[in-house]
Amino acid sequence: MTRMLRLRNTAAAAAFAALSAGGALAQAPAPAAAAAPEPDWTFTGNVGLYSQYVFRGISQTNEKPAVQGGIDYSNGGFYLGAWASSIKWIKDAGGDASVEIDVYAGYNASGSSDAMLVRLQWQLAL
pLDDT digits (tens, 9 = 90+) for 18-50: 555 555 455 667 777 778 888 888 999 999 999
Answer yes or no: pTM beyond 0.95: no
3-state secondary structure of 59: strand
What mean pLDDT comes out for the span 2-28?
Answer: 55
Query: Could you tell me which residue, 54 or 39, shows the higher pLDDT?
Result: 54
Distance CA 99, CA 124 (A): 8
> Has residue 56 got a pLDDT over 50?
yes
Please state the domain extents for the chain: 41-125
Q: At residue 95, what are phi and psi to the nearest 5 degrees? A: -90, 175
pLDDT one-digit tens code per residue, 81-119: 999 999 987 666 677 788 999 999 988 876 655 566 677
